Amino acid sequence: MTQKKLNVKKGDTVIITSGKDKGKKGKIMTALPEEGRVIVEGVNVVKKHTKPTQKVMQGGIVSKEAPVSCSNVMLVCNRCGKPSRIGKKVLEDGQRVRVCKKCDEVVDK
Ligand SMILES: [Zn+2]
């Protein structure tokens, strides 16, 4: 199985770079590496109509975030607060981490 490499992962704060939610910031709730997509809190919210079931007696409208392509998001650096290009760095102990190319802050903790 080949997995697409995502530059972002769960818990990252990202900014949306295209589409109707352009400019919105949010936290990644779920990463879908197989699809190259991520679900971002409060972004690309779609309303779904649900039918009453035995579990949920009342049908209604549920708001839910739909996945967005990871090419449409950019990581926001915790330190400089800017959408950043991500670089890779290998630490002294051999651990690979992502770093902000703007301020050199290690993104992975
Ligand atoms: Zn930075």
Q: Same domain for 97 and 70?
A: no
- DSSP letter assigned to residue 47: E
Confidence at residue 2, expressed as pLDDT on a 0 to 100 scale:
52
Q: Same domain for 40 and 16?
A: yes
From the list 66, 84, 47, 20, the residue with the least C-alpha distance to 99 is: 84
CB 79 within 8 A of CB 100: yes
Distance 102 CA to ligand 1 centre (A): 5
The neighbourhood of ligand 1, an ion, using CB within 5 A, equals 77, 79-80, 100, 102-103, 105
Confidence at residue 49, expressed as pLDDT on a 0 to 100 scale:
86
Confidence at residue 59, expressed as pLDDT on a 0 to 100 scale:
76
From the list 43, 38, 11, 44, the residue with the least C-alpha distance to 27 is: 11
Q: What is the pLDDT along the chain (109 residues), one digit of tens a residue?
A: 455 577 799 999 999 999 999 999 999 999 999 999 999 999 999 998 888 887 777 778 889 999 999 999 999 998 999 998 889 999 999 999 999 999 999 988 7
Distance 3 CA to ligand 1 centre (A): 27
Residue 109 belongs to domain spanning: 77-109
- Distance, in Å, from the CA atom of 78 to the CA atom of 57, rounded to the nearest integer, reads 43
Distance 105 CA to ligand 1 centre (A): 6
CATH number of the domain to which 55 belongs: 2.30.30.30
Q: 108 is written with which tokens?
A: 């992975």
Confidence at residue 4, expressed as pLDDT on a 0 to 100 scale:
57
Distance 37 CA to ligand 1 centre (A): 23
Confidence at residue 60, expressed as pLDDT on a 0 to 100 scale:
85
The number of distinct structural domains making up the chain is 2
Q: Same domain for 54 and 8?
A: yes
Q: Where are the beta strands (DSSP E) in 60-95?
A: 60-65, 68-69, 73-75, 86-90
Distance 86 CA to ligand 1 centre (A): 9
Distance 70 CA to ligand 1 centre (A): 19
pTM of the predicted model as reported, rounded to 2 decimal places: 0.80
